[in-house]
Structure 1
Amino acid sequence: MSDHDRAGEFGPIYLPALQRIRDCWLELEPLVEATSYDDVVAPTELQITLTDGLGDADAARLDIQWSELGMYSFHYVDSADVNWRFDRHPNTHSPKVHFHPPPDAATATAKPSCIDVTEVSLVTRAVHVMWRAAYENDDTDRLNSASNPP
């Protein structure tokens, strides 16, 4: 996600949240191949690599940011160039908590997110539950369709 997609303060990255998100995905998802940070000294993003993706994709990655203010971005991209993301941040294009649908996660197509929870582990589980439902059913419409997940 680019900073121009945000209006207002996102806040500094909160490393303990990224560590908790990493641990949740490692616990919940057998397709996790690797996890890493964009910078070892001063990380701003957690990257989770998956051995498979949605539809025709044979690999995928989640790029995740979580701030000290509770703002977040879970951005999915895969080998078939499909993008989507769940965001919570101030902006001018949609509600504070929103979803950018596939295939390109365009700013202009943002919709209200079905995620109402705000705690790190619960948001992580919600994103995982919806990704898993879309993966198992080969249906990206499942990504933002749950009623207050997880």
Structure 2
Amino acid sequence: MSEDDRAGEFGPIYLPALQRIRDLWLELEPLVDATSYDDVVAPTELQISLSDGLGDADAARLDIQWSELGMYSFHYVDSEDVNWRFDRHPNTHSPEIHFHPPPEATTTAAEPSCIDVTEVSLVTRAVHTMWRAAYEDEDLDRLNSASNPP
């Protein structure tokens, strides 16, 4: 997510949240290939690599940020250049909690998110639930379609 997408304060990255998100994805998703941080000394992003992706994609990655203020970004990109994002942050283009739909996840295409929860474990489970539903059904429309997951 670009800094231009945010209109207000996102806050410093909260490493314990990123660690919890990593642990949950490792527990919930058998397609996790690897996890890493963008910087070992001062991480600002968790990266989760998947051995398969949505549709024709044969690999995918989630780039995740979580701040001390409870703001977040779960950005999916795959080998077919499909992008989508679940975000929570102040902005001028949509509600604070929003979804950027595939295939480009453009800032101007943001829509209200189906995820209403704000606690790190629940948000993580909700994003995973949406990804898994879209993956199993091979249907990108499943990504933002549940009623307050998880």
What amino acid maps onto 2:112 in structure 1?
P
Corresponding residue number in structure 1 for 2:133:
133
After TM superposition, list the pairs within 5 Å mapping 1:27-106 onto structure 2: 27-106=27-106
Q: Which runs of 5+ in 1 are unaligned?
A: none
Which of structure 1's runs of 4+ aligned residues deviate more than 4 A?
none
Q: Deviations over 1:23-50 (max 9, x none)?
A: 0000000000000000000000000000
- SS at 1:64 equivalent: strand
Q: Which runs of 5+ in 2 are unaligned?
A: none
Deviation at 1:110, TM superposition (A): 0.3
Aligned CA-pair RMSD: 0.2
TM-score by length of 1: 1.00
Matches of 2:28 and 2:142, distance apart in 1: 18
Matches of 1:103 and 1:78, distance apart in 2: 10
Matches of 2:51 and 2:8, distance apart in 1: 36
TM-score by length of 2: 1.00
- SS at 1:23 equivalent: helix
Matches of 1:72 and 1:102, distance apart in 2: 18
Corresponding residue number in structure 2 for 1:15:
15
Deviation at 1:18, TM superposition (A): 0.0
What amino acid maps onto 1:60 in structure 2?
A
Matches of 2:67 and 2:30, distance apart in 1: 27
